[in-house]
Amino acid sequence: FTTNRAPAAPVVLARRRVAAGHASAVLVHAGNANACTGAEGLRTASDATALAARLLGIAPAEVVPCATGRIGAQVPRERLLVGVRTAVAALAPAGFPHAAEAITTTDAFPKTALRRIVLGGSRITVAALGKGAGMIAPDLATLLVFVLTDAAVPARVLRATLGEAVGATLNAITVDGDMSTNDTVLLLASGAAGNSPITAGSRQHAGFTRAVTEVLDEIARLVVLDGEGGTRLVEVHVRGARSDGDAQQVARAVAESTLCKAAFHGADPNWGRFVCAAGTAGAALDPNRVVARAAARMRQTSFRLELDLHLGTGTARILASDLSPEYVRFNAEYTT
């Protein structure tokens, strides 16, 4: 979930419910974040999940609420409840792409990913759908991602898998450096594949984690490619840091620097800006030893920027977008 200190009402409720390690449904609405809405917002989220639970024949605690959209306005309660009834009535095995489309807000396109693997003789499917285009920063963002699998996986193994996979993917992206109130990523396993439950540290666990990481990486790339006002996907790679933590700090500093993002947009290999941004990270740095490489292919839609600090073996990668005039125009007019 988001690490923002002003979490939205659905996040507050969802945190309580997933703590038990069991969920049967996820209720998502787009267009209103139900954030900064106080006690009334919590009641609305609770009432909506209670209705969904009654219609599905499950306990309210088994419904995890999520929301995305404008912050600071109350959700029209009756419209939301009508939407819940409509959504439950429309549930169907072929509904996956429709769900991906329904949760978008400023997204230009829905985001999905799929992997099929064999574990212990059983065929396993891992599928993900997500949304996000703005307020995207490391440690999640206005980002809703749901990973679904038919594998049998205990809750504690799911938590370990998701923690590892998110760190290398969704927590390593940035569009505008702003952190949302509503970030949520969920991993749900039905057990319908009939495999023996995956145990922590096993070969099956490694294969499952790899598949989850791959679908999350695909969603992460789609989110950055769809970044509001963005025209480029930039892979900022840092190596030679004293530690991985230092490398991560430097990569974030460069990826979130307004000047660097402007250089990305202008296809300007301005190594001075990149080194300057690296120096703001607070990590160990010797400017006389830094080597920055930004290839002539910066004019392409996707390219890689490398910084070698020549101080150790620490490495990190962050996916970033550029900063264009369109981003400013879009967000200046967002609520109107």
Cβ atoms of 275 and 287 closer than 8 Å: yes
In this structure, are 100 and 223 located in the same domain? yes
142 is an active site residue? yes
Contacts of 19 (CB under 8 A, 6+ apart): none
Distances (CA, A) of 281 to 28, 241, 309: 36, 12, 13
In this structure, are 63 and 111 located in the same domain? no
Q: What is the structure's pLDDT at 16? A: 92
Show which of 227, 243, 259 is a domain's final residue.
Answer: 227
Q: Which two tokens stand for residue 147?
A: 């990973």
Question: What CATH code is carried by the domain that includes residue 9?
Answer: 3.60.70.12
In this structure, are 111 and 154 located in the same domain? yes
Q: What is the structure's pLDDT at 257? A: 92
In this structure, are 144 and 114 located in the same domain? yes
Q: What is the pTM of this model?
A: 0.84
Rounded distance, CA 219 to CA 160, Å? 19
Rounded distance, CA 254 to CA 17, Å? 37
Show which of 195, 227, 259 is a domain's final residue.
Answer: 227
In this structure, are 102 and 71 located in the same domain? no
DSSP letter, residue 18: H
In this structure, are 153 and 250 located in the same domain? no
From the candidates 37, 68, 112, 142, which is the catalytic residue?
A: 142
The number of folded domains in the chain is: 3
DSSP letter, residue 294: E
Q: What is the structure's pLDDT at 204? A: 96
Range of the domain at 32: 1-91
Distances (CA, A) of 275 to 85, 146, 256, 284, 306: 54, 37, 13, 13, 11
DSSP string across 120-187: TTEEEEEEEEEE-SSS--SS--S-EEEEEE-S---HHHHHHHHHHHHHTTGGGEESSSPPPS--EEEE
Per-10-residue mean pLDDT of the chain, 336 residues long, equals 82 92 93 92 97 98 92 93 96 93 86 95 96 56 85 96 92 70 90 95 96 96 81 92 95 92 87 89 85 73 91 95 80 62
Show which of 227, 249, 270 is a domain's final residue.
Answer: 227
Question: What CATH code is carried by the domain that includes residue 310?
Answer: 3.10.20.340
Calculate ∠ Cα 138-139-143, nearest 5°: 90
